[in-house]
Structure 1
Amino acid sequence: MYRKSAAAVAAAMLVAGAAGAQVSTPATPRVGSPVISSPVGPPDEAPLTETQTLVPRDGPLPAMLSLEQALDEAEARSPTIIAAQARVEAAEARIRQAGYRVNPDLSIEIENFLGTGELSGLRQTEATVSLNQRLDLGGRRRARIAVAGATLASERLRLAIARADLAQSVRQQFARAVSARERLRIAQENEANAREVARVAGVLVAEGRDPPLRAVRARSAAAQASAELEAARAEEVSARGTLASLFGVVEPPAGVVGELLAPPPQSVDPRLSLEIRLAEAERARAESEVTAQLAQGRLDPAVGLGVRHVRETGDFALVGGISLPLQVFDRNQGNIAAARAEVRSAEATLANASASVAARARNAAIAVEAAEARVEALEGAGVPEAAEALRLAQLSYREGRASLLELLDAQNASRTAQLALVDARLSLANAIAELGRVAAQ
């Protein structure tokens, strides 16, 4: 089935793992719906096109839900995606805020009024109106923009991770819903077979060909099959309800359509995984924070220019000034040290993410290959041979050449083989979903 593709994926991962884990931070991740992005810059240098606000979809789900529809509905409805999208929008707004320059100060100063003697009243007042502007010689504005841009890159990657996690959850839960549907089908067939066996056993007992104990045993097996059918119905309803909860919807779809399996991704490069890219972005953000804190520790003078009016003579004059903070006690030493420590923490997180993602990808590829082998074995021999044995046992029992116990054993063997195939396909679907999650970029 997919054995060759899984082996190719495993080989590609080994090559990628040997190449190391140095990855550049991407500009814009893409998983699921596109995110509109633009060059990061201050408002007076480059306009920032905001991410489109995601309006959650409402209304009922499609009555019969396919996997493609489930992925689309989850993307359009999930509260998790809405929250992550809002955090991206907040980060974009902070970029705009970081790009604004410091506002100038307007000051009005009146001197020599309400004094004594010649300074009594307002006869010799001097009024000064001045405008003061703090100069950004230390690069604080540029550093703020860099921090905000790095934060936006991280939030966009977190949005991509939220979409990838949601897609994996939808694929796995959809597989569980399909598996529950197949279990219900098997339970319905088993219950129908058990009722038919009980009917035939009753006829044979009535004709004196079988002892009454055989009819009791057949009715017991039919009752057990009926109980298993009710449990399968409940499991199928629960699986559809859990799938709908991923969309933030209470009312589940009437059913799911489509097959359980999907082909695995053709190539997986752990170095390009979302977790490593996020760790890279967080390291870049920490480094930009160091630059910002260093800029906060530099001296930024403020200059002012104003007009003074002397009431006594009616003359006007210009006044100018410069002020400079004296960094006697606070030179931002603590914040600089903290920012540098955050860089070391981000580097350690990146190293841990590189090892974790490589192991996760390798394990997922191995799980896909093992599940494929199990599915192939059951599809090729296990289920067909069990079905043929059941058919022969039913014919033999009707002709009186096989006992009831032999027929019940054949039924149990066939049902067990079918359920094992459903479990194997579910395991394969989960492994493929995990491998696809690692491959998401």
Structure 2
Amino acid sequence: MKKALIWIVVFLGWIPAPAFAESTLTLPQAFELARKNNIAFQAVQREAESVEGDLIQAGLIPNPTLELEQKSTPFPGFQEGERGLFLSQELELGGKRSARVSVAQKALEAAQFKVAEIARQLRQKVRVSFYEAWVAQERMKVLEEISASQKLFLDLSKARVKLGDIPGVEVKLVSAEYLRIQQKLEGARKDVQTALADLAQLLALPLDEKPALQAPDKGPADFPDLSGLLSQAFQNRPDLRAQEMNVQKALAQVRLEKALAIPNLTVGAGTVLDKLLIHGEDVSPPGAISEINDSDRLYQIRFSFPLPLFDRNQGNILKSERLYESEILKEQDLRRAIQTEVMTAWQKVAANLKIQERFQKELLPVVKENLHIIEKAYRLGGQSVLAVIQAERTLFETQLDYLDNLRQLEGSIALLESAAGIELP
């Protein structure tokens, strides 16, 4: 019997890894699924593609105008009529067409950067949601291991009670601790389901699909320095690039409004056939003149140019200039906000990395060694069951704190990645 107890103690804390699901999902796969399946992202892509129509329309010239005119003036004894055909073309002056094209081109580039901005935000959401679900799964695994360990410890305590090594009250203490862990395990399983459902919704996966998440293997953290991150942010952030395009678009709009102050010239050409018919017998006195059938063809050239005496587009020019100034201020404000975002995210990553290092090098090894020593002393009768429970609880809470900090670290990395507009491991 004692050999059996020793065998149990040797394997205390060991359990097989639980089989969670058949499918496995990695972080790069999650990114790809989000870009492929996320409906909101697809809607923004279609919206950006629609702006290409504005660019096509901006490059078109006005259509020519064709006029057909018919006049007839019948009187007793004679008939006069005119038939005219005119073709006119409006000529845009002042560079209106090129200005329109410039506005539309900048709008298209801004729309494309907007798509990249939505992709940046989506990537951050996916990374945060992925690690929320992954940490939830890891917490559940830790609790399952602790639950199995507590079950073995409970069985060991019951066996020792039968041998008379410990009083029965210690079994009740171990049993109470085991039930407490079971409750936490149930809560952890619900957290996993919730986190996976949130991730599935973000990736547009079936809600009943619960993949096992595989976190990437990471080496030592090697992030660019703060100045390098700021430089990359100002170069790569799509929202900043979009705002820069908005500034250029606003400037192009000012030029367009000034061009619209110059009237267009309309040039036309046509021909008029003037026909006169007089019947001699219908003239009084009859026969005074013979019948007349005469026609003349006239050719005309027309020029039309509105005089800009009153309306010179002053209001729209002023409006466009103020909007241009507003876009410049928005860009300046965004640059300051980006700088703050990068610095804040960098500080969070640095702080969480230090905490992770402390967990890995100091806290976890110490509490594991402490539990090992107390368990050994308990088997030799040198420690009470309360000491073992407390040591196991300390290890359990330290492991969960470690995972919670890992979740915070990944959240801060996602924030830094998004703030700098780059991809981090």
TM-score (norm 1): 0.80
Aligned to 2:390: 409
CA shift, 1:67, in A, is 0.9
Aligned to 2:159: 203
1:176-215 matches, within 5 Å, as 176-215=132-171
Aligned to 1:138, the other structure's residue is in SS state coil
Aligned to 2:404, the other structure's residue is in SS state helix
Aligned to 1:173, the other structure's residue is in SS state helix
Alignment partner of 1:218 out of 163, 166, 174: 174
Is the 8 Å Cα contact of residues 261 and 313 (structure 2) preserved in structure 1?
Answer: yes
Aligned to 2:89, the other structure's residue is in SS state strand
- Taking a change above 3 Å as real, the CA distance of residues 118 and 385 of structure 1, as seen in their structure-2 partners, is farther
Q: Report Cα offsets for 1:101-125 as digits up to 9, x if no partner.
A: 01111111222x2555577xxx422
1:413-432 matches, within 5 Å, as 413-432=394-413
Q: Report Cα offsets for 1:183-224 as digits up to 9, x if no partner.
A: 011110111122222223333334444333322222111111
**Bigger fraction of residues in strand:** 2
CA–CA distance in structure 1, aligned partners of residues 187 and 217 of structure 2: 21
**Is residue 2:223 matched to residue 1:271?**
no
Unaligned runs of at least 5 residues, structure 2: 1-20, 277-293
CA–CA distance in structure 2, aligned partners of residues 202 and 264 of structure 1: 51
CA–CA distance in structure 2, aligned partners of residues 115 and 244 of structure 1: 83
Letter of the aligned partner of 1:241 in structure 2? A
Aligned to 1:330, the other structure's residue is in SS state coil
Q: Report Cα offsets for 1:393-429 as digits up to 9, x if no partner.
A: 2233233321111111111110111112212222222
**Is residue 2:283 matched to residue 1:302?**
no
1:159-170 matches, within 5 Å, as 159-170=115-126
Aligned to 2:255: 291
Aligned to 1:434: 415
CA–CA distance in structure 2, aligned partners of residues 395 and 116 of structure 1: 131
Bigger radius of gyration among the two:
2
Letter of the aligned partner of 1:63 in structure 2? S
CA–CA distance in structure 1, aligned partners of residues 254 and 388 of structure 2: 76
- Taking a change above 3 Å as real, the CA distance of residues 289 and 186 of structure 1, as seen in their structure-2 partners, is same
Letter of the aligned partner of 1:249 in structure 2? L
**Is residue 2:43 matched to residue 1:83?**
yes
Aligned to 2:203, the other structure's residue is in SS state coil
CA shift, 1:316, in A, is 2.7
**Is residue 2:57 matched to residue 1:97?**
yes
Aligned to 2:302, the other structure's residue is in SS state strand
Is the 8 Å Cα contact of residues 397 and 407 (structure 1) preserved in structure 2?
Answer: yes
Alignment partner of 2:340 out of 359, 371, 386: 359
Aligned to 1:124, the other structure's residue is in SS state strand
Aligned to 2:80, the other structure's residue is in SS state coil
Bigger mean CA deviation after superposition, 267-276 or 123-132: 267-276
Q: Report Cα offsets for 1:79-99 as digits up to 9, x if no partner.
A: 232122112211112111100
CA shift, 1:239, in A, is 1.6
Aligned to 2:189: 233
Q: Alignment length, in residue pairs?
A: 377
1:9-158 matches, within 5 Å, as 63-111=23-71, 113=72, 116-117=75-76, 123-158=79-114
Is the 8 Å Cα contact of residues 134 and 302 (structure 1) preserved in structure 2?
Answer: yes
Letter of the aligned partner of 1:133 in structure 2? Q
TM-score (norm 2): 0.83
Letter of the aligned partner of 1:271 in structure 2? F
CA shift, 1:142, in A, is 1.1
1:242-261 matches, within 5 Å, as 242-251=198-207, 252-259=209-216
CA–CA distance in structure 1, aligned partners of residues 203 and 223 of structure 2: 25
CA shift, 1:265, in A, is 5.0
CA–CA distance in structure 2, aligned partners of residues 96 and 265 of structure 1: 44
Aligned to 1:171: 127
Identical-residue share of aligned pairs (%): 25
Aligned to 2:290: none
Is the 8 Å Cα contact of residues 300 and 324 (structure 1) preserved in structure 2?
Answer: yes
- Taking a change above 3 Å as real, the CA distance of residues 167 and 320 of structure 1, as seen in their structure-2 partners, is same
Is the 8 Å Cα contact of residues 260 and 426 (structure 1) preserved in structure 2?
Answer: no
CA–CA distance in structure 2, aligned partners of residues 117 and 90 of structure 1: 64
Is the 8 Å Cα contact of residues 128 and 309 (structure 1) preserved in structure 2?
Answer: yes
Aligned to 1:306, the other structure's residue is in SS state strand
CA–CA distance in structure 2, aligned partners of residues 265 and 316 of structure 1: 85
Aligned to 2:244: 280
**Is residue 2:328 matched to residue 1:372?**
no
CA–CA distance in structure 2, aligned partners of residues 205 and 387 of structure 1: 26
Is the 8 Å Cα contact of residues 74 and 80 (structure 2) preserved in structure 1?
Answer: no
Aligned to 1:144, the other structure's residue is in SS state helix
Is the 8 Å Cα contact of residues 73 and 80 (structure 2) preserved in structure 1?
Answer: no
Q: Report Cα offsets for 1:325-359 as digits up to 9, x if no partner.
A: 34455332222221111111111101111111111
Letter of the aligned partner of 1:367 in structure 2? K
- Taking a change above 3 Å as real, the CA distance of residues 309 and 413 of structure 1, as seen in their structure-2 partners, is same
